[in-house]
Amino acid sequence: MDAQSLIARRVALELRSGNLVNLGIGIPTLVANYIPPDLKVFFQSENGLIGTGPIPEQGMAHPLLTDAAGRPITALPGACTFDSAMSFGLIRGGHVDVTVLGGLQVDAEGHLANWMIPGKMVPGMGGAMDLVSGAKRVIVAMQHAAKGKSKIVQKCALPLTSSRPVDLVVTDMAVIGFSGGRITLQETAPGVTVAEVMAVTEADLFIPAEVPQMNI
Amino acid sequence: MKPISAEEAIAMIPNGATVMVGGFMGVGTPERLLDELVRQRKSELSIISNDAAVPGKGVGKLFDAALVSTLTTSHIGLNPNVQKQMMANKVAVNLVPQGTFVERIRAGGCGLGGVLTPTGVGTIVEEGKRKIDVDGKSFLLETALRSDFALIHAFLADYLGNLTYALTARNFNPVMAMAADTVIVTAEHIVPVGVIAPDHVVTPAPLVDYLIANG
Percent of chain A exceeding pLDDT 70 equals 100
Contact A124 B123 (CB under 8 A): no
Tens-place pLDDT, residues A179-199:
888 999 999 999 999 999 999
Q: Which residues lie closer than 8 Å to A155 by C-beta, 6 or more apart?
A: A107, A108, A109
- Residues in B touching A122 (Cβ below 8 Å): 76, 83, 86, 95
User: B87-142 pLDDT, tens per residue?
Assistant: 999 999 999 999 999 999 999 999 999 999 999 999 999 999 999 999 999 999 99
Question: B140: part of which helix (H) or strand (E)?
Answer: strand B137-143
CATH for A3-199, among 3.20.20.140, 3.40.1080.10, 1.10.287.130, 3.10.20.30?
A: 3.40.1080.10
The catalytic residue positions of A are 46
Q: What are phi and psi of A66, to 5 degrees?
A: -140, 165
Q: Which chain A residues are within 8 Å of B77, Cβ to Cβ?
A: 123-124, 126
Hey, where are the domains in chain B? 6-112+145-211
CA distances from A90 to A50, A94, A97 (A): 10, 7, 10
B27·A64 Cβ contact <8 A? yes
| pLDDT category of residue B195 using cuts at 50, 70 and 90 | very high
pLDDT at A119: 85
Q: What is the per-residue pLDDT for A120?
A: 85
Note the pLDDT tens digit of each residue in B45-54.
999 999 999 9
Whole-number pLDDT of residue A121 = 84
Question: B93-117 burial, b if ≥16 CB within 10 A, otherwise e?
Answer: bebbbbbbbbbbbbbbbeeeebbbb
CA nearest to A90 within chain B: B99
Asked whether the predicted pLDDT for residue B20 surpasses 90, the reply is yes
HSE (side-chain half, CA atoms, 13 Å) at A95: 13
Find the range with the poorest average confidence among A13-22, A119-128, B145-154.
A119-128
Percent of chain B with pLDDT over 70: 100
B121 close contact with A: CB closer than 8 A: yes
pLDDT mean over B145-149:
98
Average pLDDT, integer, range A49-73: 94
Min mean pLDDT across A34-38, A118-122, B90-94, B206-210 is at A118-122
The domain defined by B6-112+145-211 folds into: Glutaconate Coenzyme A-transferase (3.40.1080)
What is the rounded CA–CA span in Å between residue B72 and residue A139?
A: 29
Mark yes or no for CB contact B122/A46 under 8 Å.
no
Chain A interface includes B72 (CB < 8 A): no
Which of B155, B208, B211, B137 is CA-nearest to residue B177?
Answer: B208
pLDDT at B167 over 90: yes
Distance CA B102, CA B123 (A): 19
In this prediction the ipTM stands at 0.96
Q: What's the rounded mean pLDDT across residues B135-158?
A: 98
Q: With beta carbons under 8 A apart, name residues in chain A contacting B123.
A: 129, 159-163
Which of B78, B99, B171 is closest, CB to CB, to A47? B171
Smallest CA–CA distance from B94 into chain A, residue = A124
pLDDT of residue B146: 98
User: Is A88's CB within 8 Å of B50's CB?
Assistant: no
Mean pLDDT value across chain A: 96
The rounded percent of chain A whose pLDDT value lies above 90 is 93
pLDDT digits (tens, 9 = 90+) for B64-90: 999 999 999 999 999 999 999 999 999
pLDDT of residue B215: 81
B125 touches chain A (CB under 8 A): yes
Flag whether pLDDT at A162 surpasses 90: yes
Smallest CA–CA distance, residue A184 to chain B, in Å, is: 24
A90 residue type, one letter:
L
> Distance between CA A3 and CA A100 in Å, rounded?
16
* Dist. CA B95–CA B120, nearest whole Å: 12
Q: How far is A24 from chain B (nearest CA, A)?
A: 14
Instruction: Name which of B72, B123, B200 to mutate to probe chain A: the one with the most chain A Cβ atoms within 10 A of its Cβ.
Output: B123
- Cβ <8 Å between B125 and A66: no
What was the pLDDT predicted at A180? 86
CB A190 within 8 A of CB A216: yes
- Say if residue A1's pLDDT is above 90: no
Domain map (residue ranges) of chain A: 3-199
Q: Span B7-23, mean pLDDT?
A: 98
